[in-house]
Amino acid sequence: MPTSTPRPLRADAARNSEKILRAAREVYAEVGPDASLDAVARRAGVGIATLFRRFPDKSALLRAVLDRQFAEQVNPALDRARQDPDPLRGVALMLETALASAIAHHHVLVAARNTGVLTSGAGDRFFDALDPVVRRGQQAGAIRQDLVPEDLRRIMTMLISVAWTMEPGETGWRRYVALILDSLSPANAGTLPEPAPPIRRPDL
């Protein structure tokens, strides 16, 4: 039985979508998480009806912005990390890229959390890609054996929280990434307490 595939957007519709996504990132960065869709439409140079034809509500727009951010900024780093012969360096690249992206799109993330777009599983594709790199590092003896997947989720939450204590544009958060990476090394690693079980919570 034949299956239908989504029809490609017309050239003008595709251009409008690109303009709206670019405008959304700019407006949220400037205005904050409460930026209005009217402001996004004005920045994109389209009518609000055009925006709604492409993105039926704020949640759909925010989801599209986050998907584009992931595809453009995070996915290339994931590919490089998987191919890096040094798994710990691959983990460092993934953490730094994801953290830099989260900092750059802080207002979009807050707006997404406020509208329910960010769920407890919103970061799964990132951590699902990170887990094999960590396991490869553990097998190679480059990453401590007692690290569990939930540790990385909590470490990322900690790093984002630290970054948000700094002024916009500040890169001092890289100091704390370096400290975390040192703690992942098995050299001189002490015994860790048992990890707490995961809880359902919005991702930061």
CB 163 within 8 A of CB 173: yes
Threshold 0.75, pTM exceeds: yes
CA pair distance 147, 108, nearest whole angstrom: 31
CA distances from 5 to 2, 8, 11, 14 (A): 10, 9, 18, 17
Q: What is the pLDDT of residue 50?
A: 94
Q: Which helix (H) or strand (E) covers residue 39, if one does?
A: helix 37-44
pLDDT category at 147 given cuts 50, 70, 90 is: very high
What is the average pLDDT across 41-65?
Answer: 94
CA distances from 200 to 38, 120, 121, 149 (A): 33, 5, 8, 15
pLDDT exceeds cutoff 50 at 204: no
Which of 4-13, 54-63, 149-158 bottoms out in mean pLDDT, i.e. has the lowest? 4-13
Place of tokens 């759909």: 60
Could you give the C-alpha distances from 60 to 24, 67, 161, in angstroms and in order? 12, 10, 26
- Pair of tokens at residue 11: 């050239």
| pLDDT at residue 10, as a whole number | 64
Average pLDDT, the chain: 86
Integer Cα distance of 153 and 138 in angstroms: 17
Instruction: Please give the C-alpha separations between residue 110 and each of 6, 59, 66, 68, 118, in angstroms, as whole numbers.
Output: 31, 12, 12, 17, 9
Contact 124, 49 (CB under 8 A): no
Give 152-184 pLDDT, tens digit per residue: 989 998 998 888 888 877 888 999 999 999 999
Q: CA–CA separation, 81 vs 133, rounded Å?
A: 7
Residue among 176, 181, 178, 115 nearest 152 (CA) = 181
Under the banding of pLDDT at 50, 70 and 90, the label for residue 51 is very high
Confidence check: pLDDT of 6 > 70: no
Across residues 35-44, what is the average pLDDT? Answer: 95
